[in-house]
Amino acid sequence: MKKTCIKNGIFITSDTSNPVIRGYMVIEGNRITSIHEGSPAESEIFDEYIDGTNKLYMPGLVNTHGHAAMSLLRGYGDDMALQIWLEQKMWPMEAKFTTQDVKWGTLLSILEMLKGGTTTFVDMYDHMNEVAQAVEQSGMRACLTRGVIGLCPPDVQVAKLNEATEFAKNWHGKADGRITTMMSPHAPYTCPPDYIEKIVQVAHDLNLPIHTHMSETSREVQANVDQYGLRPVAHLEKIGVFSRPTLVAHGVHLTDEEIEVLKRYDVRISHNPGSNLKLASGVARVPELLRAGVKVSLGTDGAASNNNLDMFEEMRLAALIHKGVSGDPVAVPATEALLMGTKWGAESIWLDNVGQLAPGMKADFIALDIDQPHFLPKTDFISHAIYSASAKDVVDVCVDGKWVVRGGQCLTLDEEKIKFEFEQCFDRLTQS
């Protein structure tokens, strides 16, 4: 097994008593085996040495909610509220998407994410075989799910659920274990309760988690009360969703009691601050969720509501907006924003061996070029990673022990071809 030593680097580790180490990290196969201060002993032999001078190494970022192919809709339907944006802009355009559109839209997003330091992402969309193949080819890690919208005739509902089931069955554990799957009713307002119950039953049968949008806007909460007499949390609890491990996207509008229910069921929240701000959905009660012990991670959502897939931006937003709305400067400290973008992200999708630089963890890590003005002085690198860094600083990316980005270039995908094919898809979509 190949043994690599990255020396002379600065490493953000998960050792809370000594989180920033100036020294070296050893990788054997697809695992991190050790991280130490200083230099390796001369007696220690490695197959390969990598010079980490002027590089900050940290865990790869984990994006826990998105719709990758929506890169095709970036900048289409800006400055609108969620429901109108979905009904008048997104859904009519998405109805025209072919498998080729999803393929090239997803590949463009994977390029953007990988080059920006995201090593794992969650994707809820349609034409998911194309998405899974793109993930496999790119070397990235992903948790994938065919999102189902149940506002359709019964035979179409059945066809969608069958497709989602087959996809989840066929791809779980594939691509050397880099792909896992979930089952996804899109949202309580797009899936009738009996349909959600059927999706939950499949999740039980396949032993898979559930991923859904929930309580994103106050309008959604009120509509749920009007239609079902219950707020979304009680509604989903009643129809058994939380009987499965669940990852909820957004969870913006929650009461104290609802936060307690989510904690009781160990429901995980993917906080999407950029998307929530852009769609004017509100600001999630992240400090209260964290205080209650709910696991919170970060997502970008699709590029049509963000409008980029830069997880550094989400970490920074998460650290800043909750200070702003609460008046409490430690509402979300930098250390917690970093955990949300890494370790807690991995744990939110039930991956316990990525998201941290520590012995035994999978070698999913990134390097930032810190020989730049905005990384001086060389004092607190956790602070710099959250408050100063951006996707543009990422130079190297390793997933599962394999380099996928080196010197800012993606090694696994043909960037020029992807950009060309993406623009062809965009032109066809907008001309038809």
Ligand X SMILES: CSC[C@H]1O[C@@H](n2cnc3c(O)ncnc32)[C@H](O)[C@@H]1O
Residues that bind ligand X (CB under 6 A): 67, 82, 86, 90-91, 94, 124-126, 147, 149, 186-187, 213, 216, 275, 301-302, 305
Could you give the CA distance from residue 236 to residue 49 in angstroms, rounded to a whole number?
A: 52
Nearer to Zn ion, 301 or 421 (CB): 301
213 is known to lie in a ligand binding site: yes
186 is known to lie in a ligand binding site: yes
Indicate which of Zn ion, ligand X, none lies near residue 347 (CB less than 5 to 8 Å, by partner kind). Answer: none
The count of C-alpha atoms lying within 13 angstroms of the C-alpha of 39, restricted to the half-sphere facing its C-beta, is: 8
211 is known to lie in a ligand binding site: no
Beta strands at 141-148 and 246-250: parallel, antiparallel or unpaired? unpaired
Could you give the CA distance from residue 179 to residue 364 in angstroms, rounded to a whole number?
A: 14
Question: Residues of 393-422 as b/e, b for ≥16 C-beta within 10 angstroms?
Answer: bbbbbbbbbebbbeeeebebbeeeebeebb
155 is known to lie in a ligand binding site: no
Could you give the CA distance from residue 140 to residue 403 in angstroms, rounded to a whole number?
A: 10
Min dist. Cβ of residue 77 to Zn ion (A):
14
67 is known to lie in a ligand binding site: yes
Min dist. Cβ of residue 322 to ligand X (A):
19
Nearer to Zn ion, 177 or 282 (CB): 282
Give the residue at shortest CB distance from Zn ion: 301
Q: How many CB atoms lie within 10 A of CB 183?
A: 28
Joined together, the tokens standing for residue 41 give 């002993």
301 is known to lie in a ligand binding site: yes
Applying CB under 5 A, the residues found at the interface with Zn ion are 301
Give the residue at shortest CB distance from ligand X: 147
DSSP letters for 235-278: HHHHTTGGGS-EEEEE--S--HHHHHHHHHTT-EEEE-HHHHHH
Indicate which of ligand X, Zn ion, none lies near residue 216 (CB less than 5 to 8 Å, by partner kind). Answer: ligand X
Nearer to Zn ion, 59 or 273 (CB): 273
Min dist. Cβ of residue 273 to ligand X (A):
12
* Distance (Å) of CA 185 to CA 63, 146, 362, 374: 19, 9, 31, 43
Residue numbering of the annotated binding site for substrate: 94, 146, 186, 216, 301
Residue numbering of the annotated binding site: 65, 67, 94, 146, 186, 213, 216, 301
Residue numbering of the annotated binding site for Zn(2+): 65, 67, 213, 301
